[in-house]
Amino acid sequence: MRPTTVWSQLKRAPTLLALVVGLLVGLIIGRALPSGLLSIWRSGNRPIFVSRLSARKQFTLPTVDQRHRVLELLSTLSPHHTTECTRNSQPLYIQQVRERYEPLLGYKPPSQTSWLSSLGFSSAQHVHSVSTKEHKYFFAINLYNSFDIIPDLFATLFRVSAILGYHNVYVSIYENGSTDQTKALLRIFDALTRSVGLRITIRTSTRTRGAFNHRIEYLAEVRNQAFNPLHELRDAQNEYFDTIIFMNDILPCVDDLLELIWQSRRNNAGITCAADYMYHDEIGAPVFYDNWVARDINGTALENAPFESIFHHSPSSERFQMHLPVQVQSCWNGVAVLDPAPFYTPPYVQFRMAKLLEQECSASECSLICNDYWAAGHGRILMVPRVKLAYDKKVFDIIHPSRRNLTAIRGYVRLGGLPDNPRTDPQDRSWFGPHDRLFTPEETAEIDFVPGPSHVWCWGWDGAGDIDGPDMDPIWESMPNKSQTPDAVKVKHQRGMSEL
């Protein structure tokens, strides 16, 4: 498919604009609309936000039009499609998203009109106040040979930041030893990002695995490097973040990221992950992917299997198949939203390899950080099945087929839907469904977290031989008593949204 810019979509089919795209377009062309939008976009001559406590030289922010041109450039450089994820969303989903994510908006609305009315929506039912409390987001991203995804990744970051508030976002990218032109491309994007007033640190490395003894030690080191600016900003400027979004080289849609952030804050969760899928050649369908890390709340591994057999723990399986958030012992799955509290307070969690001398099982650095969150009393870990991530377009298209107008198709009622009622659309109940699946009330309810399991299935990777993957016999590893107490899942750090 040919790349399409937001602007050309807007000109061609204004009524088709999905909210998330629409929101951003609204932000970008805010000036062109009758009433202005958020103050940070409007302020052509306000000092750029650097940090609360630093008094650096003041810059002038680019105008809305200038920012739009930068975004347009980004959106046309990429062969990917995240700009189109929400393009044809059904109207009811757009309305749901608008209401659901309103508490995440990181800017003050104009006092008279609501931000929605600026987008041309009726403001009557949206007059309730928008959260203006500052909530700071730290994006940590590891890249390696990522030339093809960088433009899309940045376009998504720009869009999400426009919603969360540019002044609330910090982006940290760590690139290790790429052999393509990733480094050169990153330099361009570093400049583009700064040009729109978004704070960013990009560090690249030529260190390779050879410098480390253990594979997991190396992977943990690579991940920790992306967190360095978090500690530097705290030390140098006393700046603290409220939410961390950790991403691999994956391409989530804007609403995927918003939903993970929303669930993380709604549940005051320690770690919140998506669900990722890979094509399985023997099965001939996409299956759940990251089962090296993912463990259900009984400690059992998830399976690389079709959706109905991913979870062994049956209550979890039931929720998973209804696309409802599920408490788990451990997960990562391409994107994880973290509560930063355990990074800031003793015992100072970080990515690490197993303590082999203490007989700890040599699990993934991502499993170990989940165990450490439990031990630190931040064991509220959950997986959000609605957010289904793919590593390529083939899988994305299978797990998110386009929505068909079933009212126009015979047999709709036989499939269990009521004519013209989008809330009973059987496509939303099917496993691989359209990306604009409607939210159910259960997805909004807070999760009731239970204490952790006594044992967790661990499949160690010693990395001594040539095997590219776990190479030890799996064991049931016993967990510390601390993570089995109710205190391990008590809320320690309130990050909720004031409206809920």
Ligand X SMILES: *[C@@H]1O[C@H](CO)[C@@H](O)[C@H](O)[C@H]1NC(C)=O
* Site of tokens 């009521």: 418
Nearer to ligand X, 105 or 376 (CB): 376
Residues forming beta bridges with residue 288, ordered by sequence position: 277
Considering only CA atoms, which of 312, 452, 449, 333 is closest in space to residue 385?
333
Residues forming beta bridges with residue 296, ordered by sequence position: 328
Using CA atoms in the order 224, 225, 231, 236, what is the torsion angle rounded to 10 degrees? 170
Nearer to ligand X, 115 or 351 (CB): 351
Residues forming beta bridges with residue 458, ordered by sequence position: 475
Q: Does 300 bind ligand X (CB under 6 A)?
A: yes
The H or E element containing residue 141 is strand 137-143
Query: Which member of 408, 441, 468, 473 binds ligand X (CB under 6 A)?
Result: 408
Q: How far is the CB of 407 from ligand X (least distance, A)?
A: 4
Query: Which member of 214, 234, 312, 429 binds ligand X (CB under 6 A)?
Result: 312
* Site of tokens 């205190």: 487
Q: Which amino acid makes up residue 342? A: P
Angle between helices 150-164 and 64-77 (to 10 degrees): 150
Confirm if 308 and 317 have CB atoms less than 8 A apart. yes
Nearer to ligand X, 189 or 351 (CB): 351
Nearer to ligand X, 144 or 439 (CB): 144
Confirm if 271 and 247 have CB atoms less than 8 A apart. no
Q: Does 292 bind ligand X (CB under 6 A)?
A: no
Instruction: Show the tokens assigned to 465.
Output: 């031989």
Residues 127-166 that bind ligand X (CB under 6 A): 142, 144
How far is Cα 407 from Cα 426, in angstroms, rounded to an integer? 11
Stretch that binds ligand X, among 165-173, 292-300, 328-336, 442-450 (CB under 6 A): 292-300
Q: How far is the CB of 393 from ligand X (least distance, A)?
A: 21
Q: Which residue is nearest to ligand X (CB)?
A: 177
Stretch that binds ligand X, among 15-23, 101-109, 293-301, 392-400 (CB under 6 A): 293-301
How far is Cα 75 from Cα 95, in angstroms, rounded to an integer? 25
Stretch that binds ligand X, among 132-140, 151-159, 165-173, 298-306 (CB under 6 A): 298-306
Q: Does 330 bind ligand X (CB under 6 A)?
A: no
* Site of tokens 């050649």: 281
How far is Cα 164 from Cα 160, in angstroms, rounded to an integer? 6
Nearer to ligand X, 187 or 404 (CB): 404
Q: Does 222 bind ligand X (CB under 6 A)?
A: yes
Chain-centre distance for alpha carbon 308: 24
Q: How far is the CB of 117 from ligand X (least distance, A)?
A: 24
Q: Does 267 bind ligand X (CB under 6 A)?
A: no
How far is Cα 269 from Cα 337, in angstroms, rounded to an integer? 9
Nearer to ligand X, 453 or 463 (CB): 453
Nearer to ligand X, 388 or 403 (CB): 403
Q: How far is the CB of 284 from ligand X (least distance, A)?
A: 27
Query: Which member of 455, 471, 490, 491 binds ligand X (CB under 6 A)?
Result: 455
Rg (CA), the chain: 22
Q: Does 407 bind ligand X (CB under 6 A)?
A: yes
Query: Which member of 481, 487, 496, 500 binds ligand X (CB under 6 A)?
Result: 481
Q: Which residues, 6+ apart, have CB-to-CB distance to 98 below 8 Å?
A: 19, 23, 116, 121, 126
Q: How far is the CB of 246 from ligand X (least distance, A)?
A: 11
Considering only CA atoms, which of 326, 421, 43 is closest in space to residue 311?
326
Residues 159-218 that bind ligand X (CB under 6 A): 176-177, 208-209
Stretch that binds ligand X, among 65-73, 287-295, 357-365, 400-408 (CB under 6 A): 400-408
Under the rule (CB under 6 A), what is the footprint of ligand X? Answer: 142, 144, 176-177, 208-209, 219, 222, 298-300, 312-313, 405, 407-408, 453-455, 476, 481
